[in-house]
Every structure is written in structure tokens, then in C-alpha cells.
Amino acid sequence: MGVRKNQATLTASEKARYIAAVRQLKANGDYDRYVAQHREAMQSPMMPAHMMPAFLTWHREYLRRFEIDLQSIDPSVTVPYWDWTADRLPNASLWAPDFMGGDGEPGSRRVITGPFAFSTDQWTLTVTSPDAPDPALRRTLGQPFGLPTASQVNAALGIVPYDSPPWMRSSPGFRSRLEGLHNVVHPWVGGPNGSMGGPTSPNDPVFFLHHAFIDRLWAQWQTLHPDRAFYLPTVGGPQGHNLNDPMSPWGGSATPASVINHRALGYSYDTEPVDGEEPVGGIVDLTVGAPPVQTSIGRAGEVDIYRFPVPAAGNYRIETQGPTDVLMSLFGPNSPTALVTEDDDSGQDRNARIVTRLTAGAYFLRIRHYQPSSTGSYGILVAREAAAPPIREIPVNGPAIQGNIEAANESDLYTFSAGVTGIYTIATQGNTDTFLSLFGPNSQNRLILQDDDSGPGFNSRIVADLAAGAYFVRVLHYEARGTGLYRLSVRR
Ligand code: CU
Ligand code: CU
């Protein structure tokens, strides 16, 4: 089984072999046959390949045939993918002279570096279109943030179903959203009249790396939604786009159904488990309040998926621990696809941390490395956050309030209202060694006085001349680990 790799992780010799195979395919005329096939597919009145459900299936078949042709030249070669959510800059190694070559030169926009420069005499475009008539490879690499982002891709991966009526570009569904993101990348590379635009876009060899990533995202979507139809429509959609319709121009047994399972076609992605290994995918269950689950991103681009039940509405904290910089996306309730929120670095040491109110239901987490080419270990946990306790009001000159320091390091907060300026006494009673702090007026942070033992026994007492306003009283145990009952009163 061939493994398609992230192009950013290829060795120099892997790059050289891929380039050599592509140039050989060009030299023997087969490459241009692929360009012509794509041009026909885009110009067909049925538009079988774009803006409709078979977009992903058509390009999967197309790429696989291209890859098999490359492998007949060099069996070690697979089509790498370009993760443009990570490699977003025109100076990325993707565009170096040892691989795809760089940007077009000012003026002509012709690529003058790398193996596909016109000057090499080995990359003359023979199948062109009015959108891109130049026989030389042309690029105008775009602005750094003109490419779709990781969070846009994550959001698209959350969408179900695969596709839905009216089965067009703007249909609700995963395919339409992903195709829309894909559409942005072509002009980012090509610019005006660039080779990556229009029906002859495979003239730019980066076309295949771009579409390999799109293909990988479809495979990833299938892993995320194992209970969903991997392809739609089954029947009743546009001709050529139903599950068992032959796809033009191959016809016969080349149907959407025949390419649903990419592994059955003989390849996988470096983000997927290798055959025979414990699957990386699958959903790992987490328990609220349990110790962290220790795990790792074992492969570049791996996405780990978790599920946890929220038994009751409340504030919850989800966080990762350890040395690995991960991104976390939270989905739910009762849906692995409805994005709640995402986080990168809110935790300690670049860990991810989400604290949010959740209603009851099942929630899902997707964890990936911030650097898609990196791996590393991490722990993950979900905990219920203690709701911020309500601030109890002490009635001035009223009966004492019963308080309880139930746990180590607990601090109880109270408020009282000084209606008029005067001398006020704040005091605890009972057998617990309390420690009092008084804040105000109208501030929980402006400290006025503290006291430990001015009252009878170990009780605390503060006597203060206070202006009218709201005051706050904090009660601690004198011992950090101490607990106990007390009563608290305020008198003027
Ligand atoms: Cu296409
Ligand atoms: Cu495309």
C-alpha cells in the first residue's frame, strides 16, 4: 500500500524521485493527456467533476490513475499532499528550486526557478485554455493569509451530510464547503492568467499536491463520521453523480461507489494508521473528573477524537497537559459536528484549555498538533469547574450567618451594605480558627483590614469606621488545611 505523505516531510531524495517521475510522465506525453482530461471535464455541459457531488470522487479516480502512471515509472513514488493550512507562505520549502519551483518573475509571471521553469525546455504547456494561454508555467503566489485556515477546515470537517440537494456548489453539506475552500487555493497559486487557474490547472504540478490534500480531508471526514453515508446522492441526483453512475470519461466500473474507500484503491495517508497496527482513529471515551488520559500524536497530521458525557449543565474545563503544542476543538452537544469552540494556547506551556458552560449531552473533542508535521505526547482531561459560589449577603444588625469551611484552602466571600457612615464590627463566632479580610467600599479587591484572633477564642473581629457603601468579607481558616463551622455577623 502506498502512503501519501505531507510534502513538508519529504526527504531530498523523495522529492527528487517525485520530480523525476513527473518530468518523465510529461516527456512521454501522458501528463498532457491528464491536463486535457481535466479541461474536458470542466468544459463538459454535465460538469461531472466540479461544483457537484462527484467533485471528490472524480478527482480521487483522476489522482489515483495519475499516481499509478507515476508508479509505473518509479514504484517508490506516491503523490504528496500540500497542507496549505500549515505551509502558507511563498517561501515555504514547497516552492524551493528542488521541488515545485517558485513564484513567477515580475512582469511575465513566468516561473523561472525549479524543475518546471520554461527555460528547462522540459515544461512547455501544450494543453492550454483562454484562461491560461501562456505555454510557460505561470504563478503569482498570493498573500500569506489568502489561503483557507485550519479552523475553516476544521469547521468543514464537522459538516454533515456529505452532500444534499440541490447538489450544487452552494448546497449545504461537506462536499460543497470543502470544494469552496479548495477553490480559493487555485487562484492563490496562479493569480491572473496563471496556470493553476481554469480548466487546464493540472498544468501546474502543484495541482496534484493540492488535490491530494483535498482527498485526504475527505478520508478524514469519513473517519470522523463513520455513521454517515460516505457519499451522496445514492439515487435521484444529477446524472453522472449518483453513487453507481459511471463517471465520465472513464465510464464502466469507475463510479463514485468504486472510490469511496481509498484504501481499497491501494493507498493511505501518513495521517492514518498503517495496516495491522492499532488504529489511531476511533473515538476514545473520557470521563469527567477522571485523571488525565496519557496519549500522543504519533503521526504527522494525526487527529485524535474523544467523547465525553456531560451529566448535568455546568461549567466544565477541558485541558491538555505535557510538552506538546496541540489544538483542541470542542463539538456538541450530541453532535460530533456542531463546533462549540476551539483553543490553542490558553493552558500552561502552550497547552490547550477550554473552560465553558455546557448543557447536558455528549461532547466530542478533536486534538491535533499545532504543527501538522510534528508529533508528541500529551495528557487530556475533563473536569467540572466549581461554579463561582454566590456571594451571600450579611444583614447588618441581623442574626449571625452560619458558614462552613468545608475544604482545604476554601475561602468564603460575603457582602454587606453599610447604609450610613459609622463604626461597624465584623466578627466570627464558634470553635473554628477563622481569618477575616475586609474589602471595600464597592470593591472586592481593595483591602481595608485583616484580623486573626481579636475575638474570643480563635475568633476574628474587625472594628472599622466605614463610609456608606458595599463591603466584602472573606473568611479563611487560619490553617491552610483546616476546616470547620463558624458564624459571622456585622453590627453597627
Ligand atoms: Cu478539478
Ligand atoms: Cu482543483
Nearest ligand to the CA atom of 185: 2
Residue 265 banded pLDDT, cuts 50, 70, 90: very high
Between the ranges 97-106, 168-177, 222-231, where is the mean pLDDT highest?
97-106
**Across 480-486, average pLDDT:** 87
Burial class of 57 by CB neighbour count within 10 A (0 to 12, 13 to 18, 19+):
buried
At 213 the three-state DSSP class reads helix
Share of the chain above pLDDT 70, in %: 97
Strand order in the sheet with 447-451: 392-393, 411-418, 469-477, 434-439, 447-451
Question: Can you give the pLDDT at residue 126?
Answer: 97
Mean pLDDT of the chain: 90
Burial class of 333 by CB neighbour count within 10 A (0 to 12, 13 to 18, 19+):
middle
Question: Can you give the pLDDT at residue 92?
Answer: 95
Mind listing the pLDDT tens digit for each residue in 375-416? 899 999 999 987 666 789 999 999 999 999 887 777 889 999
Chain-centre distance for alpha carbon 25: 36
Question: Can you give the pLDDT at residue 144?
Answer: 57
Nearest ligand to the CA atom of 183: 2
Q: Which of 46-60, 289-303, 334-348, 425-439 has the lowest mean pLDDT?
A: 334-348
On the question of pLDDT at 88 being above 60, the answer is: yes
The CA 204 to ligand 1 mean position distance, Å, reads 12
Query: Domain locations in the chain?
Result: 2-269, 283-385, 392-491
- Beta 392-393 vs 411-418: how paired, if at all? parallel
CATH number of 283-385: 2.60.120.380
More confident residue, 312 or 330: 330
List, in order, residues 6 or more apart from 10 with CB less than 8 Å away: 18, 80, 99
CB distance 127 to 32 below 8 Å: yes
- List the alpha helices (DSSP H) in 131-255: 150-157, 174-190, 206-224
Q: Which of 2-16, 100-114, 283-297 has the lowest mean pLDDT?
A: 283-297
CA distances from 245 to 28, 215, 248, 253, 399 (A): 32, 20, 9, 9, 82
Question: Can you give the pLDDT at residue 145?
Answer: 60
The CA 190 to ligand 1 mean position distance, Å, reads 14
Rounded CA separation 314/316 (Å) = 6
**Across 76-90, average pLDDT:** 95
pTM, whole model, 2 decimals? 0.61
The CA 181 to ligand 2 mean position distance, Å, reads 10
More confident residue, 408 or 127: 127
Nearest ligand to the CA atom of 186: 2
Question: Can you give the pLDDT at residue 279?
Answer: 41
List, in order, residues 6 or more apart from 43 with CB less than 8 Å away: 199
Ramachandran quadrant class, 397 (left: phi over 0; alpha: psi -120 to 50; beta: rest): left
Rounded CA separation 42/202 (Å) = 12
Mind listing the pLDDT tens digit for each residue in 409-466? 778 899 999 999 999 999 999 999 999 999 999 888 788 889 988 888 889 999 999 9
The CA 52 to ligand 2 mean position distance, Å, reads 13
Residue 12 banded pLDDT, cuts 50, 70, 90: very high
The CA 185 to ligand 2 mean position distance, Å, reads 8
On the question of pLDDT at 348 being above 70, the answer is: yes
Question: Can you give the pLDDT at residue 56?
Answer: 97
Chain-centre distance for alpha carbon 347: 17
Nearest ligand to the CA atom of 42: 1
Amino acid code (one letter) for 293 = V
Rounded CA separation 344/163 (Å) = 30
What b-and-e string marks burial along 216-236, b requiring 16 or more CB atoms within 10 Å of the CB? Answer: bbbbbbbbbbeebebbbbeee
The CA 321 to ligand 1 mean position distance, Å, reads 42
The CA 218 to ligand 2 mean position distance, Å, reads 14
On the question of pLDDT at 275 being above 70, the answer is: no
For 300-348, strand residue ranges (E) read: 303-310, 314-321, 326-331, 339-343
Rounded CA separation 115/401 (Å) = 82
Q: Which residue in this structure is represented by grid cell 484552602?
A: 409
The CA 51 to ligand 2 mean position distance, Å, reads 10
CB distance 236 to 81 below 8 Å: no
Residues in the chain, total: 492
Question: Can you give the pLDDT at residue 85?
Answer: 93
Grid coordinates belonging to 386: 466549581
Rounded CA separation 28/15 (Å) = 20
CB distance 243 to 233 below 8 Å: yes
CATH number of 2-269: 1.10.1280.10
At 228 the three-state DSSP class reads coil
Residue 277 banded pLDDT, cuts 50, 70, 90: very low
DSSP 6: B
On the question of pLDDT at 281 being above 70, the answer is: no
On the question of pLDDT at 300 being above 70, the answer is: yes
Question: Can you give the pLDDT at residue 278?
Answer: 40
The CA 182 to ligand 2 mean position distance, Å, reads 6
- Within this chain, domains 283-385 and 392-491 share the same CATH topology: yes
More confident residue, 148 or 227: 148
The CA 58 to ligand 2 mean position distance, Å, reads 11
For 390-483, strand residue ranges (E) read: 392-393, 401-405, 411-418, 422-429, 434-439, 447-451, 461-466, 469-477
The CA 33 to ligand 2 mean position distance, Å, reads 17
Rounded CA separation 268/215 (Å) = 10
| Topology, domain 392-491 | Jelly Rolls (2.60.120)
The CA 223 to ligand 1 mean position distance, Å, reads 24
At 136 the three-state DSSP class reads coil
The CA 211 to ligand 2 mean position distance, Å, reads 6
